[in-house]
């Protein structure tokens, strides 16, 4: 595990992962979490599994430039406009990573029962090697990485502390799926913001 002022490179073959544990020590993360939970127009999407429709186990919101529409499970979503707060966070993440972002997906895990299934962020509009910067607020949950190819070995579980930023780049989405498991024990809320560039 290489460490530098720029962040920790996490070792995972065929992936490019950098973790910044607390890039902005002065930021009041609890206040930020509360403000975002309050101000965001949350939606709860449905998923259909084996012909049965369920509510997804988390709330989400999609925000970005007007032309950054997003297709997901066969539907196209128009982004909410940037708020000053989200635009400020976008600027911070752009300066931290050197990448550009025109949209952000907010995921709100209300408690231990909320989760996200294993997936890769490989939608065509993200391009072949997307750089995705993921800011976590609130309860520490583990982001689990599992190989996309059947029979491949290897895995990594990354605890994402309050105020941390994980950057996924290079071939990460090509080779790995990631997700958040539900927990057996109660826990507090967690908010995750993944900043992306829609092409
Ligand atoms: O909550 C997380 O840390 C993961 C979010 C994620 O994978 C996504 O928004 O695509
Ligand atoms: Fe993802």
CB 94 within 8 A of CB 179: no
CB 76 within 8 A of CB 114: no
CB 109 within 8 A of CB 139: yes
Helices (H), 63-154: 84-97
Q: Domain 10-196 class?
A: mainly beta
Model confidence at 75: pLDDT above 90: no
CA dist 17 and 14 (Å) reads: 10
C-alpha 46 – ligand 1 centre gap (Å): 17
Model confidence at 175: pLDDT above 90: yes
CB 198 within 8 A of CB 125: yes
CB 121 near ligand 1, within 6 Å: yes
Taking the CA of residue 190 as reference, the ligand 1 atom at the shortest distance is 1
C-alpha 86 – ligand 1 centre gap (Å): 17
Predicted complex ipTM = 0.99
pLDDT digits (tens, 9 = 90+) for 129-144: 999 999 999 999 999 9
Model confidence at 84: pLDDT above 90: yes
Parse the chain into domains and list their residue ranges. Answer: 10-196
């Amino acid at each position: 595990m290489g460490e530098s002022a720029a962040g920790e490179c996490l070792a995972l073959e065929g992936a490019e992962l950098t973790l910044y544990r607390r890039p902005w020590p002065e930021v009041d993360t609890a206040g930020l979490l509360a403000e975002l939970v309050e101000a965001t127009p949350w939606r709860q999407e449905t998923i259909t599994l084996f012909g049965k429709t369920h509510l997804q186990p988390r709330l989400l919101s999609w925000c970005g430039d007007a032309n950054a529409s997003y297709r997901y499970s066969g539907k196209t979503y128009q982004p909410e406009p940037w708020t000053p707060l989200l635009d400020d966070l976008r600027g911070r993440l752009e300066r931290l990573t050197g990448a550009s972002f025109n949209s952000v997906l907010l995921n709100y895990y209300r408690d231990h029962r909320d989760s996200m299934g294993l997936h890769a962020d490989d939608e065509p509009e993200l391009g072949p090697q997307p750089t995705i910067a993921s800011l976590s607020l609130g309860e520490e949950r583990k982001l689990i990485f599992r190989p996309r190819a059947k029979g491949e070995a290897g895995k990594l579980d990354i605890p994402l502390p309050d105020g941390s930023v994980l950057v996924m780049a290079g071939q990460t989405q090509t080779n790995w799926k990631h997700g958040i498991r539900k927990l057996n024990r109660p826990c507090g809320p967690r908010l995750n913001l993944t900043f992306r560039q829609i092409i």
